[in-house]
Chains A and B, each alone.
Chain A
Amino acid sequence: MSNNDLILSVDGVSKQFPGVKALSNVSFRMFKGEVHALMGQNGAGKSTLIKVLTGVYPTDSGTILLGGKPIAPMSTHDAQQLGISTVYQEVNLCLNLSVAENIFIGREPKKFGMIDRKAMKKSAASLLKNRLNLDIDVSEPLSSYSIAIQQMVSIARGINIDAKVLILDEPTSSLDEKEVNQLFDIMRKLKNDGMSILFVTHFLEQVYSISDRITVLKNGELVGEYFTEDLPPMKLISAMIGKEYKAADYAKSKAAAAEQSASRQTILNVRNLERKGSINEMDFSLKKGEILGLAGLLGSGRTETVRLLFGIDKADKGHFEINGKPVHIHSPIAAIEHGFGFCPEDRKIEGLIGDLTVRENIILALQGRTGTFKTIPRSKQVEIANKYIKALGIKVTDCEQIVSKLSGGNQQKVILARWLATSPAVMILDEPTRGIDIGAKSEIIDLILDLCQEGMSFIFISSELEEVVKCCSRVVVLCDRKKIGELEGENISEAKILHLIAEGNN
């Protein structure tokens, strides 16, 4: 890696927002044909750095050199023209347009001033096949494909413009393991073709399986630039959070919880839960003060189960018993009345009310439970909001901040706060730590364990088996929309869960 291979060089870049120094004198280098991981907690400045590179924000000071020439992109379009393309965490495409249209939108091949659809389809298909090994019908609407394929279409769109640098901002957060590997194959192929890839993720094991070098940011400052093989995970985590990371010792509390749960009363009993095309013959129960995990691969029926439980989707069959009494849950309102809380998988779509303030977001469910016309007085609202902001360590300027301006981890905490404010008996958490940084992650896990000690029951879904193993006193394992097994206490381990799933697949 000589300086001749230096493709992108950021030197002493600073960016100030009102009240926050988002980037402070950050330098950063990328070489030709490397996968470079950009790491840091939420608020470390990763997003700002990417936005500076892609022309979303202008820099306050410092220089950016691309291929030796100084650049100052004014817009993402501008950045693309210069050779820096970005694929964002949330797929930024038009779902109702075809795959080919999505790839060529804004720069369609033309013939006599009209769109040459034939040429467009042909080049889209060959682009996907040759560069991404993806053989799909490009005239189908994008919505008919999985998120993984959609993600790859956005990559195809990115690399199509002869990109020199491709930025992937948390591309894997909604992919399952197989899809992640597929993505990594593509990244390796692009890398061998000479492209430089900047990769942002929260999954440490992915950093080690794909990246060549790592740059770590913290609080808007550069911590360091490392070769991946020189930086073991413990050191990486220390660099990111700025202190020695001690793997928390949950084993003890878990053993205690398992012991306690045996004697505890069952508060929820679900029998024969079924909905065509989403879940078959599901039975499970939940005890007071217990964390019940639902484990399985993406699409195994985990999310579908809790959606039925919370009344978002309607079950075809099924009996619910709460404290021994049969109940009907036909809508989220009914579920809330029965003491359920629900942090959904996709917090942007199903959780946040983006343009409302943090206070309004926090009190919303409680207000709904209290009743429309029994308004919670403003002073009380502020009190509740501030209580949870403090308890959960939500980083805000004040409780009147617009919630969509917060980072992912803080948004997730706001949704947690919304449900905690209703003091639910059963809290359903669907991927509560998805897409948030490692510090916030462990804070949320700690919080769940504390609340469980206080008697709250949880149904917990996470794609990270490590978390499931860490938290849950009982785990229901799902595969292909069916329950295939249940593990308890000491028996819960990643190996056993995977073993069950593997057996279920046979």
Chain B
Amino acid sequence: MAVKAKGEFYKSSIFWALLALGLLLLFNLAATPGFFKIEIKDGHLYGSLIDILNRSSSLIIIAIGMSLVIATKGIDISVGSTVAITGAMAALLIGGNLQIVDGVQTFTTNVPMAVAILGALVLATAIGLWNGILISRIGMQPIIATLILMVAGRGIAQLLTNGQIITIYYKPYFFIGNGFLLGLPFSIYLVLIVLAATLLFTRKTALGLYIESVGINPVASRVTGIDEKKILLFVYAFCGFCAGIAGLIVSSNVKCADGINAGEMFELDAILAVAIGGTSIAGGKFFLIGSVVGALLIQTLKTTIYSIGVPPEINLIIEAIVVFIVMNIQSAEFRKLVFRMKPAKE
């Protein structure tokens, strides 16, 4: 992980991100009454903290995919659009009608829900593969390659939904974004599964090492026998897949597919989460846990801004100011300048 020796921990980015998160929570303790209160209703846990976890789930999952992309010195700004497309696809496949037959409510779907979910995820992965092909085979720069789908993707989502916002009436589908399992929101389990699987795949196999190696020096990686094109293809496909899961959560959560607003600005929030988590945008070492903390920080900040009643028109300004402060404090150069602290040893 980010930390080599115990004494070095305070110098790592993740430490500062955690500190910022802690301070934000402390601020809420004072500013928002009942912020830390967790109630049990119908065997489900409710409260602001649970709410933050639930709301941040889609961002965390995207940030995990984005971490791998950024580690290869790439970027994927099409994830927000992918969220919209996946939602639209799922909605289209499920459709759903509320039928009342003989006074009994039944839910119908166009295709079985499992098929719809699978179809949407396959589409999301295909989108990621498309990005990966443009970047690894055609040699397009990542920001340009993914810009194509960032722009076109919203159009595609609207094409799928015929320009309408499709409402989903199939109740079992709502479980993904609203359901509870063992007292906790189901989306939290999705986050844990994605995180655990990614950690396992990148840290228990050589994949993580290859990804970092390609991000640091693609030419040398190739000479060393790493198929850098395959690695690039994989990380973009995986990032698309993650955005697909997020798309399912979002569309299930709001019970509709909105081609224009679903996943809006997710790409930027995800990139920010990865950066806050300590992964350099210049590629190389990546920190999945850091990205998770980064995403939690962003969501906590958003919730805080809402709950203390900041006027909506300056929400983004407050958010930007806090992010600016966090990023600066993480910079060893800045700390040295301001606090006369020793910079992190390289």
A: which residues have CB within 8 A of B? 18, 310, 312, 331-333, 335-336, 342, 344, 349-356, 360, 364-365, 367-369, 372-373, 375-376, 400, 402, 405, 418
Contact = CB atoms under 8 A, between A and B. Distances in A.
B313 interface: no
B220 A349 contact: yes
Interface stretch (B27-35, B111-119, B210-218, B316-324): B210-218
Contact of A355 (B207, B221, B224, B285): B285
A400 B220 contact: no
Given A312-B223, A356-B212, A367-B206, A18 B345 contact: yes
Contact of A364 (B4, B213, B284, B346): B213
B224 A418 contact: yes
Interface residues of B, number: 24
A402 B209 contact: no
B37 interface: no
B222 interface: yes
Max chain A Cβ within 10 angstroms of own Cβ: one of B210, B213, B284, B346: B213
A375 to B, nearest CB: 5
A349 B205 contact: no
A353 B228 CA distance: 13
Interface in B98-113: none
Contacts of A364: 209, 213, 224, 226
B204 A375 contact: yes
6 closest cross-chain pairs (CB), A and B: A368-B225, A336-B225, A367-B206, A353-B213, A355-B284, A355-B216
Contact of B205 (A332, A350, A372, A400): A372
B227 interface: yes
Contacts of B207: 372
B4 A350 contact: no
A369 B4 contact: no
A372 B210 contact: yes
B226 A351 contact: no
A367 B285 CA distance: 18
Contacts of B285: 355
B216 A354 contact: yes
Contact of A351 (B209, B216, B223, B225): B223
Contact of A352 (B206, B220, B225): B220
Contacts of A336: 225
A373 B219 CA distance: 22
Contacts of A310: 223
Nearest to B212: A356
Contacts of A344: 220, 223
Contacts of A360: 209, 213
Given A375-B205, A402-B346, A352 B217 contact: yes
B225 A332 contact: yes
A364 B211 CA distance: 12
A184 B74 CA distance: 43
Contacts of B4: 400
B260 to A, nearest CB: 40
Contacts of B221: 353
B213 A356 contact: yes
29 contacts: A312-B223, A332-B222, A333-B226, A344-B223, A349-B219, A352-B217, A352-B220, A353-B216, A353-B217, A353-B220, A353-B221, A354-B217, A355-B216, A355-B285, A356-B212, A356-B213, A356-B216, A364-B209, A364-B213, A364-B224, A367-B206, A367-B209, A368-B206, A368-B224, A368-B225, A368-B226, A369-B225, A375-B205, A376-B206
